[in-house]
Structure formats: C-alpha cells, structure tokens
Amino acid sequence: MNKRASFCLSDDDPSPLDVVDGEVDSEFFLVCEHAGRRVPKCLGDLGVDRSEMERHIAYDVGAEAVSRRLASALCAPLYIQRYSRLVIDCNRPLEASDLIPEVSDGTEIPRNFALTPEERMLRFEKIHRPFHEAVSDGLDRVVAHGRKPILLTIHSFTPIMRLTGEVRECELGCCFNRDDRLAKAMLSELCAAYPSVKASLNAPYGVDDIGDYTIPLHGDRRRIPHVLIEIKNDLISEEGGQAHWAGIVDKTVRAATAKMKF
C-alpha cells in the first residue's frame, strides 16, 4: 500500500466531533461543519504556510463562535466538526471533486495531491463518516422525544475571492436545496426586522446534491425544516460581530418558525 494511505487519527488527535448539549425538547438542531482548523498529526502542515490556515479556505471564520452563541440562545444541541476543510470537507459527498481539495482559492495543498481512492476513503471513514453518523443519531434522539427537529447549519464566506477578485455584496444568505420554506420565511423576517441587512436567498451559493452534504442528507432526505445560513466572515471575525449576528439569526429564525406550519 502507498505509504500515504496510512492516514490515521493518533491518540493525540481529537475526535472529529464536539457536541454542545441543548435541551431535550428544543425544536432546533444546529450543525457547524467547517468550524475547525485541526490537521491530523500524520498530515503535518499539509504543505501550506501557516497563514493559509487563517483564511476561509481552511475553515469558516467566525462560524463556530456564532453557532455556540446561537445554540445557547435557542437551548439547542450543536454538532461541531473540528478538522479543517482542507483535510476533508464534511459538507461534501464522497464523489465531490473538492471533498479533499488540491487547490483552494488559488492556494495549492501539496499533501492532497494525487490521492488514490483508498487514501480518500481513509479520510472519509475516519472524519467525515463518524461526524455525520453522530449528527444522524442526534436527530434520531430528537425524534424519539416526540419532536420534529428544525435543522440549522451555520457557515461563513469570504467577502473577496483571492483568485478571481469576485466581491460578495451579500451579508447574510438563507440557502436551500429542494425545500425553500424556512429559507424564504427567514428572509421575509430579515427584510422586515433588519431592512439595512443585505440578505438574499441562495447567496453566495446555492445548495445542491454534489456541492453540499448536510442539507441533502439530514434535511431533504428526512423531510424536516432546514436552512443553511451563510454570514460574511468579516462581520463575525470579532466577538462583537459574532454576538450581533447571532442575535439577528436568533430573532429571525424564531419569528419565521413561529409563523410556519411544518
């Protein structure tokens, strides 16, 4: 076997999953797939400069802090993924070309070059699969307590793409795949309560079966209400902004769900 295929998580490497427990009867269930920047010891520094691990290519800047504040406000469970999306992107299916990116926004990731299917599968089995199995089990527990969970996944995006120079004007995106009910209801509440916020549907990205994983698997397939929330990361890079935007999401998602019949 190729030596690189000996990918493993050592005893010193953390579990992919960190769970913040919420109330048993909370209707909300939160996931943050791109929270972490950890790299397993066996991969070293991935062959990239340390400064690259501060960029959006490595993790969703500010998303974990917003998620934690939101989970506390909603008394909801939160499932946090600790490893960098440069190791493996836990919001991509196995067949996605950028599941383990060789290049991200112009930056080469040498330790990801020319991986064999076996090497890709090892990362999937050690990080991606256990994370999503835990999310699935958590949703099952909510259902077992007689609740229909409302799934919120929390992300952030860069204002400017380094490679293309694309500028994103949107500040908050309410994103969906097949089921637009909660995304549209939340956008309506955002426009009413915060007219100065630049909010849009499916911005800066839409959700689909090959570019996403959590919403198609845990939202669409279960037929539970859901929304993927994207926040521009320069707005949540500091504590004050994190508190402010968590408050906006808290208020608007509560108002949206209160008016809906699922």
Q: At what angle do helices 239-258 and 63-74 cross, to 10 degrees?
A: 50
Q: Residues 60-109: pLDDT tens digits?
A: 999 999 999 999 999 999 999 999 999 999 999 999 999 999 999 999 99
φ, ψ (nearest 5 deg) of residue 32: -130, 95
Architecture of domain 3-258: 3-Layer(aba) Sandwich (3.40)
Cα dist. 176→62, 76, 101, 169, 173 in Å?
21, 21, 24, 19, 10
Q: Residues 103-158: pLDDT tens digits?
A: 999 999 999 999 999 999 999 999 999 999 999 999 999 999 999 999 999 999 99
Residue 149 and residue 27 in contact, taking contact as beta carbons nearer than 8 Å: yes
Q: Which region, left, alpha or beta, applies to residue 71 given φ > 0 means left and ψ of -120 to 50 means alpha?
A: alpha
What is the structure's pLDDT at 195?
97
In 69-143, the DSSP E strands lie at 78-81, 103-104, 107-108
- How is the chain split into domains, by residue range? 3-258
Q: What is d(CA 240, CA 256) in angstroms, rounded to the nearest whole number?
A: 24
What is the structure's pLDDT at 5?
52
Cβ count near 262 (within 10 Å): 11
Q: Does the pLDDT at position 2 exceed 70?
A: no
In 48-138, the DSSP E strands lie at 78-81, 103-104, 107-108
Q: Residues 12-44: pLDDT tens digits?
A: 999 999 999 988 778 999 999 999 999 999 999
Residue 29 and residue 76 in contact, taking contact as beta carbons nearer than 8 Å: yes
Strand 172-175 versus strand 226-232 pairing type: antiparallel
Name the residue type at position 174. C
Cα dist. 253→3, 63, 259 in Å?
48, 17, 10
